C-alpha cells in the first residue's frame, strides 16, 4: 500500500468485506434482486494501491474489474443500528474489487481464489472524510483506457451504507481500519494485459471532494497456475457473466412474432404441447386493446401479519425493490393470492416501471388508481380495482422467485404474453418454437376465413385438412399471408 491509504489503515485492516449485489443496475444485469445484503471476505494480502499492477494469472483470460465505493471503519463497532452505522465510518475511498472469473466455478460465493489474489483489491487515491459527505450523495465512475464504463451514484442502493455497517456489526466486531466494499454498478467487465483501469469516487454536493483516480495497469502473470487444485476454466456462460452481459432474454425476432399473434392462438399451441395450466386466470387489462410481450420479473406478497408490517412493509421493501429492478422488455408479475380486498400497484409505481422500460404489469390482486393506470403507456393487467393500499391485506415478501399468479406458476425469465383474452406464461425455451407455429396457425386461419366467406363448409377445412392443403399452398404462392 502507499500513502495516504496505507497510513490510514495502519499496518493492515483486520477484515475486507465485499457486498455481492447492491446497485439496481447490476441486479438488472444479473437477473436477480437481493432481499438482503450478502457478503464475502477478501484477504488482506489482496490490498494494493494506485499505480500498482493488476496481475492476470497465466492460463486465465477473464480478469474482471468492479469499481466500488469503499468504506473505512473508524472505531470499534458492534451491534449498532443503521442510523448509528454511518457514524462508525471514518473515510470513503475508491476501490476495485478485481478477480478472475476463470476460478469462480470452484469457489463461487466464497470467492477465495477467484477474488483473493495478491493485488486484487486496490484502494485510493485519497480518503474522503465521512463527516464531509452524505452516504446517499456519492458518485462513482470507472474508466477502462480512459473511457467511462461505470457511472452511478449511491442514491438508489438496495442497502444503504449505515445498514451494511449495522448488519455486519450484528455478528462481527468491526475494528478501525476494516474495509467494506459496497457493491458495483452495471458496467463491470474484463480487462486485458496492457489495459488501464481507473476508479474515482466523489461527492454530488461538492465537486472539490474527490478521491482522484485510482489507477492500475493490467499485466500478464509470469508463471503458470499450479495443478494442485481447480485449474482455470472458462466457457460462454462464464464469459457472458464476466463481460457484464444481461441475463439471457427474449430474442427480438421471437418477441416480434409473439406481438403479432393472439393469446387465444398461443394457448392452442401450448395445449398441443401438453401445457394446460399456463394461463394467469382472472386478470384483465385496465385498458382494453392492450398487448403485452416480455420476460417475467416476479414479486410475491404474503398475507398481512401486523407484527411484520414495519420490518417487511416499510422503507425500501420488496415491492419497491421489484419496481427499481424491473428493466427494459420485462413484465412485473405479482402473486397476490387472488386477494380482492386491497391494491397491489398504483399509478406512481407503475409509472416508475414504465420509465425503467418495463412492458407490462400483472397482478392477480387489486390495482389502485385504475383510471390513471389505464392512461399510462405500460399495460396493466389486474384481477380487480380496489382503492386500499396493499398494507390492508399484504406484506411485500420477496422478489425474483418462482410464484403462483392466477393459478399459474411463473418463474423469473418466463415469457409473458397478454391481450384482451388474458395472460399466458410461455417457458423461454419453448418461445421460439411456439411463436413460429402460432404464426403459421394464424396464417392458415386467415386462409380458412377467406374460404368460409366464399361459402365453403368448415368440414375438412377447419382445422385445415389434407384435401385443402394444395389450395392453401397456391394461396401462399399467390401472395396470401
Q: What is the pLDDT of residues 350-385, one digit of tens each?
A: 999 999 899 999 999 999 999 999 999 999 999 999
22-31, 186-195, 331-340, 399-408, range with the lowest pLDDT? 22-31
Residue 79 has a pLDDT of: 97
The alpha-carbon radius of gyration of the chain (Å, integer) is 27
Q: Is the pLDDT of residue 277 over 50?
A: yes
Give me 367's grid cell: 390495482
Topology of domain 278-426, CATH: Glucose Oxidase; domain 1 (3.50.30)
Q: Is the pLDDT of residue 481 over 80?
A: no
What is the pLDDT averaged over residues 214-233? 88
Given a contact cutoff of 8 angstroms between Cβ atoms, the answer to whether 381 and 342 are in contact is: no
Residue 13 has a pLDDT of: 75
Q: What is the pLDDT of residues 299-311, one digit of tens each?
A: 999 999 999 988 8
Q: Read off the pLDDT band of 328 (50, 70, 90).
A: confident
Q: What is the pLDDT of residues 192-222, one digit of tens each?
A: 999 999 999 999 999 999 999 999 999 999 8
Residue 234 has a pLDDT of: 87
What is the pLDDT averaged over residues 426-446? 94
CB atoms within 10 A of CB 132: 12
Angle made by CA atoms 46, 155, 189, in degrees to the nearest 5: 40
DSSP 101: G
Q: What is the pLDDT of residues 82-121, one digit of tens each?
A: 999 999 999 999 999 999 999 988 887 789 999 999 999 9
d(CA 136, CA 154): 5
Q: Which of 428, 307, 279, 284 is CA-nearest to residue 362?
A: 284
Residue 238 has a pLDDT of: 84
Residue 3 has a pLDDT of: 55
What is the pLDDT averaged over residues 28-53? 89
Q: In this predicted model, which residue has the larger pLDDT, 327 or 155?
A: 155
Angle made by CA atoms 325, 331, 334, in degrees to the nearest 5: 85
Give me 290's grid cell: 392492450
Residue 346 has a pLDDT of: 97
Domain ranges of the chain: 5-242, 278-426, 432-477
Question: What DSSP assignment string belongs to 371-429?
Answer: HHHTTSSS-EEESEE--S-GGGTEEEEEESS-EEETTEEE-TT-EEEEETTEEEEE-HH
**Which DSSP helix (H) or strand (E) runs through 54?**
strand 54-58
Give the rounded percent of residues in the chain with a pLDDT score beyond 90: 78
Residue 10 has a pLDDT of: 59
What is the pLDDT averaged over residues 39-52? 95
Task: Answer yes or no: CATH 3.90.850.10 is held by domain 5-242.
Answer: yes
d(CA 78, CA 101): 34
**Which DSSP helix (H) or strand (E) runs through 360?**
strand 360-363
Residue 257: cis peptide before it, omega within 30 degrees of 0:
no
Q: Please tell me the total number of residues recorded for the chain in this structure.
A: 481
Cβ-based neighbours of 443, under 8 Å, separated by 6 or more: 476, 480, 481
**5-242 and 278-426 share one CATH topology?**
no
Q: Is the pLDDT of residue 29 over 80?
A: no
H helix and E strand count, the chain: 14, 29
Query: Strand 408-410 to strand 403-405: parallel, antiparallel, or no bridges (unpaired)?
Result: antiparallel
Angle made by CA atoms 3, 4, 10, in degrees to the nearest 5: 85
Query: Strand 422-426 to strand 279-280: parallel, antiparallel, or no bridges (unpaired)?
Result: antiparallel
Q: What is the pLDDT of residues 56-75, one digit of tens each?
A: 999 999 999 999 999 999 99
Given a contact cutoff of 8 angstroms between Cβ atoms, the answer to whether 95 and 199 are in contact is: yes
What is the pLDDT averaged over residues 398-403? 88
Residue 2 has a pLDDT of: 47
SS3 state at 89: strand
Angle made by CA atoms 106, 110, 113, in degrees to the nearest 5: 55
Q: Read off the pLDDT band of 226 (50, 70, 90).
A: confident
Residue 7 has a pLDDT of: 63
What burial letters (b/e) apply to 327-362, b meaning 16+ CB within 10 Å?
Answer: bebbbbbbbbebbeebbbbbbebbbebbebebbbbb
pTM over the 0.75 mark? no
d(CA 161, CA 391): 27
Q: Read off the pLDDT band of 1 (50, 70, 90).
A: very low
d(CA 55, CA 234): 18
Amino acid at each position: 500500500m502507499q500513502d495516504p491509504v496505507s497510513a490510514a489503515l495502519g499496518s493492515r485492516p483486520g477484515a475486507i468485506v465485499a457486498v455481492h449485489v447492491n446497485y439496481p443496475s447490476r441486479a438488472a444485469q444479473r437477473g436477480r434482486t437481493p432481499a438482503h445484503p450478502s457478503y464475502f471476505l477478501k484477504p488482506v494480502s489482496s490490498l494494493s494501491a494506485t499505480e500498482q499492477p493488476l496481475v492476470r494469472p497465466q492460463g486465465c483470460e477473464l480478469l474482471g474489474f468492479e469499481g466500488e465505493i469503499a468504506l473505512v471503519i473508524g472505531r470499534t463497532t458492534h451491534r449498532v443500528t443503521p442510523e448509528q452505522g454511518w457514524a462508525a465510518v471514518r473515510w470513503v475511498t475508491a476501490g476495485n474489487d478485481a478477480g478472475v472469473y476463470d476460478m469462480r466455478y470452484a469457489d463461487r460465493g466464497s470467492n477465495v481464489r477467484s477474488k483473493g489474489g495478491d493485488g486484487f483489491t486496490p484502494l485510493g487515491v485519497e480518503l474522503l472524510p465521512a463527516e464531509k459527505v452524505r452516504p446517499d450523495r456519492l458518485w462513482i465512475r470507472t474508466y477502462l483506457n480512459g473511457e467511462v464504463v461505470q457511472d452511478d451514484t449511491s442514491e438508489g442502493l438496495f442497502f444503504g451504507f449505515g445498514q451494511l455497517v449495522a448488519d455486519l456489526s450484528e455478528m462481527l466486531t468491526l475494528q478501525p481500519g476494516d474495509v467494506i466494499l459496497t457493491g458495483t454498478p452495471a458496467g463491470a467487465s474484463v480487462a486485458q494485459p496492457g489495459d488501464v483501469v481507473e476508479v474515482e469516487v466523489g461527492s454530488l454536493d461538492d465537486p472539490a471532494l474527490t478521491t482522484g483516480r485510482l489507477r492500475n495497469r493490467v499485466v500478464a502473470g509470469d508463471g503458470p497456475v499450479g495443478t494442485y487444485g481447480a485449474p482455470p476454466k472458462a466457457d460462454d456462460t462464464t464469459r457472458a457473466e464476466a463481460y457484464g452481459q444481461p441475463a439471457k432474454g427474449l430474442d427480438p425476432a421471437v418477441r416480434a412474432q409473439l406481438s403479432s399473434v393472439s393469446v387465444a392462438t398461443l394457448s392452442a399451441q401450448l395445449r398441443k404441447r401438453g401445457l394446460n395450466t399456463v394461463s394467469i386466470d382472472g386478470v384483465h387489462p385496465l385498458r382494453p386493446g392492450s398487448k403485452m410481450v416480455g420476460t417475467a420479473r416476479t414479486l410475491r406478497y404474503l398475507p398481512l401479519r401486523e407484527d411484520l408490517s414495519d420490518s417487511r412493509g416499510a422503507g425500501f421493501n420488496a415491492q419497491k425493490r421489484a419496481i427499481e429492478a424491473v428493466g427494459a422488455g420485462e413484465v412485473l408479475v405479482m402473486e397476490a393470492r387472488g386477494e380482492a380486498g386491497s391494491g397491489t400497484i398504483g399509478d406512481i409505481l407503475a409509472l416508475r416501471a414504465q420509465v425503467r422500460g418495463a412492458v407490462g404489469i400483472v397482478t392477480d390482486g387489486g390495482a389502485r388508481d385504475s383510471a390513471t393506470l389505464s392512461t399510462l403507456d405500460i399495460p396493466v393487467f389486474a384481477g380487480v380495482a380496489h382503492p386500499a393500499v396493499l398494507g390492508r391485506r399484504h406484506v411485500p415478501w420477496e422478489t425474483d422467485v418462482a410464484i403462483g399468479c392466477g393459478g399459474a406458476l411463473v418463474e423469473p425469465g418466463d415469457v409473458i404474453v397478454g391481450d384482451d383474452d388474458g395472460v399466458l406464461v410461455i417457458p423461454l425455451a419453448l418461445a421460439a418454437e411456439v411463436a413460429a407455429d402460432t404464426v403459421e396457425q394464424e396464417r392458415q386461419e386467415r386462409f380458412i376465413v377467406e374460404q368460409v366467406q366464399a361459402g365453403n363448409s368448415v368440414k375438412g377445412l377447419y382445422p385445415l385438412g389434407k384435401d385443402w392443403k394444395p389450395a392453401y399452398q397456391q394461396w401462399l404462392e399467390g401472395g396470401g399471408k
